């Protein structure tokens, strides 16, 4: 805990720079000229971005700039909104995810999502995690399911806290535990990409630190995309950063470069707090 507080006290953007070395990695998701409309509102304009595998990418930008909307395009969550229309090309491993042959339900199993507010189902902790594996038939029997659940909870860094009360309701956990449970739940379906929409905005600094640590560990196996309002958080956890403003992708690059030497004046204004 003390270490975490110490981290908070360090100068704003220095800490992560050293460890955010990005090797040459494959492109996981490629978006080209993506446009999103809500009814008549043009919410996302000409966004093209390549998200890398085994990398944490942070989306930053002022409220209403479209970063969450763009994130929800990546696993077609926007399909559940009637008035939303997506144009352009988004490819996952070279396959167009908006192709007619792609089943959005299958896609979402591959591209998992964690939401702003922890939203455990009103079920037991075990059933929360087992939900995804069960509906996708990932386990042949109970023993295998137990194994998957334990593995997911361990990856969610919450196993030690809940292993003795897997039958307790997930809603009874604290906010930070709930969010880690939701991450474990998303991890349990073995996704290839993990989308996180402001996963720490409802959490206190301690829980935030735990979740951030977890995100850093998840990087080893997944491509993680995180939307955040906290620039310190973006600097701490991500290797790549994309800055959105008024529906446009203004700048995309190495996190260290965006925070120390931004190319676009708008990016500089935002990270120094002049617009937002």
Partner 1 sequence: MPLLWLFLIVLAIAAVGFVLGRARALASAGGDVRNLHSLPSYYGNNVAIKTVVPAILVMLIWLIVQPMIVNSTISGMIPESSVAENSSLGLVMSEVRRTAEGLDNAVANGDMTEEFARDARADFTDVTQRLKDAGQIVTSDVTQPILRAAQSYRIMNATGNLIMSGIVLALALSGLFWGLRDSHAAFRARNTVEAAVRALLIGAASIAILTTIGIILSLVFNTVEFFRLYPATDFFFGTSWAPSFSGRGGSSDLGVLPLLWGTFYISIVALVVAVPIGLFAAVYLSEYATPRVRAVAKPMLEVLAGIPTIVYGLFALLTVGPLLLGIFGDDGLGWMQAGTAVMTAGLVMGIMLIPFVSSLSDDIINAVPQAMRDGSYGLGATQSETIKQVILPAALPGIVGAILLAASRAIGETMIVVLGAGAAAKLSLNPFEAMTTVTAKIVSQLTGDADFSSPEALVAFALGMTLFVLTLGLNVLALYIVRKYREQYE
CB of 188 within 8 A of CB of 217? Answer: no
**Among residues 64, 122, 175, 265, the one that binds partner 1 under rule CB under 8 A:** 122
Minimal distance in Å, beta carbon 105 to partner 1? 5
> ∠ CA(98), CA(103), CA(104), 5° rounding?
70
d(CA 85, CA 68): 15
Cα-based angle 218, 220, 226 (whole degrees, multiple of 5): 45
Residues in 143-162 at the binding interface with partner 1, rule: CB under 8 A: none
Biggest alpha carbon–alpha carbon distance for the chain:
57
C-alpha span between 53 and 268 (Å, rounded): 27
Q: Any contact of residue 123 with partner 1 (CB under 8 A)?
A: yes
- Note whether 174 binds partner 1 by CB under 8 A: no
Q: Quick one: which of 41, 48, 106, 174 contacts partner 1 (CB under 8 A)?
A: 106
Q: Counting contacts by CB under 8 A, is residue 115 touching partner 1?
A: yes
Q: Which residues pair with 47 in a beta bridge?
A: 34
CA 171 to chain CA mean position, Å = 22
Site string for partner 1, 240-269 (x = CB under 8 A): ------------------------------
Whole-number minimum distance, CB 230 to partner 1, in Å? 21
Q: How far is the CB of 132 from partner 1 (least distance, A)?
A: 4
Least separation, in Å, of the C-beta of 135 and partner 1? Answer: 5
Tokens 């995180």 belong to residue: 226
- Nearest distance, CB of residue 209 and partner 1, angstroms: 24
Q: How many CB atoms lie under 10 A from the CB of residue 225?
A: 29
Stretch that binds partner 1, among 99-107, 156-164, 213-221, 234-242 (CB under 8 A): 99-107
Stretch that binds partner 1, among 5-13, 62-70, 87-95, 102-110 (CB under 8 A): 102-110
For residues 241 and 246, what is the distance between their CA atoms, to the nearest angstrom? 17
Residue closer to partner 1, measured from CB, 88 or 104: 104
Find the binder of partner 1 among 2, 21, 40, 82 (CB under 8 A): 82
The whole-angstrom separation of Cα 180 and Cα 155 is 9
Report the site for partner 1 in 178-217 (rule: CB under 8 A). Answer: 182, 185-186, 189
Cα 223 from Cα 53, distance rounded (Å): 5
Number of other residues whose CB lies within 10 A of the CB of residue 270: 23
Contacts to partner 1 by CB under 8 A: 75, 77, 80, 82, 105-110, 112-115, 117, 119-123, 131-132, 135-136, 171, 182, 185-186, 189
């Amino acid at each position: 805990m003390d270490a975490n507080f110490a981290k908070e006290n360090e100068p704003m953007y220095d800490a992560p720079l050293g460890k955010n070395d990005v090797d040459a990695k494959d492109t996981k998701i490629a978006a080209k000229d993506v446009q999103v409309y809500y009814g008549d509102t043009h919410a996302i304009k000409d966004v093209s971005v390549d998200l890398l595998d085994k990398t944490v990418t942070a989306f930053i930008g002022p409220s209403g700039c479209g970063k969450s909307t763009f994130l929800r395009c990546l696993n077609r969550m926007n399909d559940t909104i009637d008035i939303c229309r997506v144009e352009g090309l988004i490819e996952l491993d070279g396959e167009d995810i908006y192709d007619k042959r792609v089943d959005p339900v299958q896609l979402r199993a591959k591209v998992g999502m964690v939401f702003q507010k922890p939203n455990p189902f009103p079920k037991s902790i075990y059933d929360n995690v087992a939900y995804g594996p069960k509906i996708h038939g990932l386990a042949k029997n109970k023993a295998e399911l137990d194994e998957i659940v334990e593995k997911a909870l361990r990856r969610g860094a919450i196993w030690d806290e809940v292993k003795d009360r897997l039958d307790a309701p997930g809603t009874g956990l604290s906010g930070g535990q709930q969010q880690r449970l939701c991450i474990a739940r998303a991890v349990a379906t073995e996704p290839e990409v993990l989308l996180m929409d402001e996963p720490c905005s409802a959490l206190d600094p301690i829980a935030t630190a735990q979740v951030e640590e977890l995100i850093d560990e998840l990087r080893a196996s997944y491509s993680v995309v995180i939307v955040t309002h906290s620039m310190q958080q973006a600097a701490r956890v991500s290797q790549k950063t994309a800055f959105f403003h008024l529906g446009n992708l203004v700048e995309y690059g190495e996190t260290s470069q965006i925070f120390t030497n931004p190319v676009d004046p708008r990016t500089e204004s935002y990270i120094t707090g002049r617009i937002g």
